[in-house]
């Protein structure tokens, strides 16, 4: 998955497909979504045994806001693709969402050496790719920050994937909670997704809650205050391991 460079540390080239933009103060404080994820995976790589390096490229894919959905040929030297979280709806039929689904399908079929990964919106979109049922909402295994109320009801299967998944492919649900039965899925060497935001720290949790209150996305202020109270908890996104 990685390649050895001069410093003898294997490095992974990750392409982050940005499906949203941070609010202005978060952008100033933390950078783009790809910057936040690069920092997170750099830290995770340093803690890995043996250490791993990460090289991150990014493409903003919302065409209606000046972005572009890349072609599969642009991923020649990429080892993994990560689709970010977004305020957009993974059920949606926006042209860029449909283009993104076509791209992911092509990469899955043509690039078995390239891992697909997604966070929140990205998790739901990848599960949609494989025909999983999504649910729209108008005892935790790990501590992660979940911001999106939509979620995946059941994991994808060979039958639901319309033949995209190989016969006998094992789709693991690596985490579950009372609210969200499918916190993430794992297909060995091919796919890893998470509904919750593994790279969010206390600052980002607070800012995301505030942004959603301001936009009307969160109306239960008591619940929002309780969520803020737990934002300082250490989350486990740097050491999640796939099932054996």
pLDDT, position 94: 96
Angle between helices 202-215 and 221-229 (to 10 degrees): 170
pLDDT, position 140: 38
pLDDT, position 1: 38
Render each residue's pLDDT in the chain as its tens digit; 244 residues.
344 344 678 899 999 999 988 777 777 877 888 898 898 889 888 888 889 999 999 999 999 999 999 999 999 999 999 999 888 889 899 999 999 999 999 999 999 999 999 998 999 999 999 998 776 544 333 333 444 456 677 889 999 998 899 998 999 998 877 767 788 899 999 999 988 767 655 555 656 666 665 555 555 556 556 555 554 445 544 444 555 4
Longest Cα–Cα distance of the chain, Å, equals: 53
The residue with tokens 């693991």 is 172
Q: Is the dihedral of CA 80, 40, 204, 33 positive or negative?
A: negative
Nearest to 87 by CA among 203, 207, 208: 208
Here the tokens at position 39 are 């920092």
Here the tokens at position 179 are 């609210």
Q: What is the pTM of this model?
A: 0.76
Cα distance between the two ends of the chain: 18
Round to whole Å and give the CA distance between 153 and 56.
31
In which region does residue 49 sit, left (phi positive, over 0), alpha (psi from -120 to 50) or beta (all else)? beta
Q: Could you give the domains of the chain?
A: 3-200 (3.40.50.880)
In which region does residue 66 sit, left (phi positive, over 0), alpha (psi from -120 to 50) or beta (all else)? left
Here the tokens at position 69 are 């959905």
Round to whole Å and give the CA distance between 34 and 17.
8
């Amino acid at each position: 998955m990685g390649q050895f460079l001069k410093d003898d540390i294997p490095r992974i080239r990750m392409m982050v497909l940005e499906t949203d933009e941070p609010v202005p103060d978060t952008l100033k404080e933390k950078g783009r979504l790809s910057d936040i994820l690069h920092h997170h995976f750099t830290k995770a790589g340093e803690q890995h045994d043996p250490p791993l390096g990460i090289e991150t490229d990014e493409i903003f894919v919302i065409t209606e806001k000046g972005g572009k959905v890349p072609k599969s040929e642009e991923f020649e030297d990429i080892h993994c693709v990560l689709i970010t979280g977004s305020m957009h709806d993974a059920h949606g039929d926006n042209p860029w969402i449909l283009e993104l689904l076509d791209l992911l399908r092509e990469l899955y079929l043509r690039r078995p050496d390239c891992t697909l990964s997604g966070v929140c919106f990205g998790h739901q979109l990848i599960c949609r790719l494989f025909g999983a049922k999504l649910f729209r909402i108008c005892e935790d295994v790990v501590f992660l920050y979940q911001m999106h109320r939509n979620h995946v009801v059941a994991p994808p299967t060979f039958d639901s994937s319309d033949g995209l998944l190989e016969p006998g492919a094992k789709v693991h649900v690596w985490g579950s909670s009372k609210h969200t039965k499918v916190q993430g899925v794992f297909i060995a060497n091919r796919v890893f997704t998470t509904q919750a935001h593994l790279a969010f720290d206390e600052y980002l949790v607070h800012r995301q809650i505030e942004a959603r209150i301001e936009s009307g996305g969160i109306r239960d202020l008591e619940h929002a205050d309780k969520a803020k109270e737990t934002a300082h908890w250490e989350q486990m996104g740097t050491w999640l391991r796939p099932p054996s």
